[in-house]
Amino acid sequence: MNILVIGLNHKTAPIEVREKVAFAGPKLQEAIHMLKGSGAVKESIILSTCNRVEIYAGVSDVDSGVENVKGFISEFHKVKRDLLDKSLYIHKGTDAIRHMYRVASSLDSMVVGEPQILGQLKDAFDAALKNRSTGVILNKLMRKSVSVAKRIRTETRIAESAVSISFAAVELAKKIFDDLSTKSFMLIGAGEMAELAARHLINSGVKGVYITNRTIARAEELALEFHGTVVPFENFVRELIHTDIVICSTGAPNYILLREQVQKLMKERKQRQVFIIDISVPRNIDPQINEIDNVYLYDVDSLQGIVDTNIQERAREAEKAEQIVDEEIGSFLKWQDSLTATSTIVALRNKAEEIRKSELEKVLKKLGPMEEEKIKAIEYLTASIVNKLIHPPTVALKAANDDKEEMLDVVQKLFQLDIEKGKNEET
């Protein structure tokens, strides 16, 4: 059985192409049934996300398998082959195993270290299992992919550093304040990154939420979503006395919070720490505020600097992860190699046993009625002869290294073995 990966992702295809070949909702089950057992394809799993569509397949012949999978994608989605060929990548054998490990570990993701892909891969595997489109090889490979991903997250720091501005802001807040659950924050404006940072803060335990916006309807909408309190825009400076974290993103052309205002606020706050995030461009918070004691102000550029540093850190951790992938590939190949020999050995044993039972049955019919002890003695004799005959080739197949493929081929031809039957009975 050969392993094959055929797909496209955010690196090889624009969204216009990816959406044409996505297997969404009810389409997925229909596709699994259509692909199952299609020509050379003996096992299959379909992964479909917003950033990638990939088909993992166990095929009897690589060239035929590639043609079958490409033809399936083209026919199912009514997409011309020339359009597909421009975007599709093909990985075979060891490269296919490496690709699956890297996908599961998020090493091939748009954001290295993101956790979503592993859950999506598990869902794809579950769908394949429910529709009985996998077998020994892909079942083992998918479970191994999951364990490799978990090992990488345990042994590296690939997912620990924030690589988005909104998440970096929250990570900074956690460093400034020991316990976010006792803190409150104010969202000024309604920029996309600011709203995302607000969601991260709420998920991190912040309780008191205040929303202010020049458009009161928008403030009320966000307050409802975040379970917060609306603050009239003209009053927000006064309310900052009670606020520990401020996220600002408005379309104002100038500063809406000045140094003098914050100096006055800090006296009334009795110098309790304040963390201010200004995601606005142009900036809405006077940068001189950062010079005030116990006030921590970060703008987009300073947050981006943190993100860039974290991306570099993830890249270093990714190098460690790649080494783990290489180790685990060797482990899987060793298992796959042993499976090939085992299947041949099982098929040889089954063939010998079938012959023994058939010939024994003929002889016992000719001999007529016999005592039970004599029948058992004859059965033991025939079984012993068979075991002694198949023992040498069994030992040789298990011990073979460089010439294993050639030896397997010889044994299969000499004894006319049905390897597929051997595999089925083994599993």
> Where in the sequence numbering do the catalytic residues fall?
50
Distance (Å) of CA 33 to CA 38, 43, 76, 113, 114: 9, 11, 11, 33, 31
CB 196 within 8 A of CB 187: no
- Hey, CA dihedral for 365, 370, 374, 375, is it positive or negative? positive
CB 306 within 8 A of CB 173: no
What span, in angstroms and rounded, lies between the C-alpha atoms of 71 and 68? 5
CB 3 within 8 A of CB 144: no
